[in-house]
Amino acid sequence: MEITDAASLQYRNTSLNASLESVKRGGISEAEEAKLKEACQDFESLFIKQMLDTMRKTVNKGELLNGGMAEDIFEDMLYDEYASAIAGSGDFGISKMMYSELAGRR
C-alpha cells in the first residue's frame, strides 16, 4: 500500500506546487482558488490517513477473527474514507490554515 500512498502524495504535491506558482504570479482566479482549496484538503486528508495508519498499527489483532489480506485491504480503504470524511468536515483545521497562508489571506 506504500506505493499507492507515494504516488498519491506525488500527485497532490504536483497539484499544490501548480497552485503555489499561480499565487506567486499575483492573485488567483476562481478556478485556481478552487484547486488550491482542493490541494490543501487533499494534503490534510493524507496527513490524517498517515496518522490513522500509525494509530492502527498499535492495536493488537487477535487470531480468532483475522480476515487475512482481504481484511487488510478493506481496512485500508475504510481508513482512506475516514481520513477524507474528517478532512472534508473542516473540523481538523490544517487545510484552512494552509489555504489562508498560501493564498495570502490571514
Please tell me the predicted confidence (pLDDT) of residue 29: 79
CA-CA distance, 10 to 61, in Å (whole number)? Answer: 32
Q: Please give the grid coordinates belonging to residue 58.
A: 498499535
Per DSSP, the three-state class of 25 is coil
Average pLDDT, whole number, for the chain?
80
Enumerate residues 6+ apart whose C-beta is below 8 A from 104: 23
Please tell me the predicted confidence (pLDDT) of residue 53: 93
Phi-psi region of 90 (alpha: psi -120 to 50; beta: other; left: phi over 0): left
User: Which of the pair, 16 or 95, is modelled with greater confidence?
Assistant: 95
Q: Taking the domains of the chain in order of start, what are their residue ranges?
A: 2-103
pLDDT in tens, 27-57: 667 888 889 999 999 999 999 999 999 998 8
| Average pLDDT of span 16-33 | 67
pTM of the model: 0.66
| Average pLDDT of span 5-30 | 63
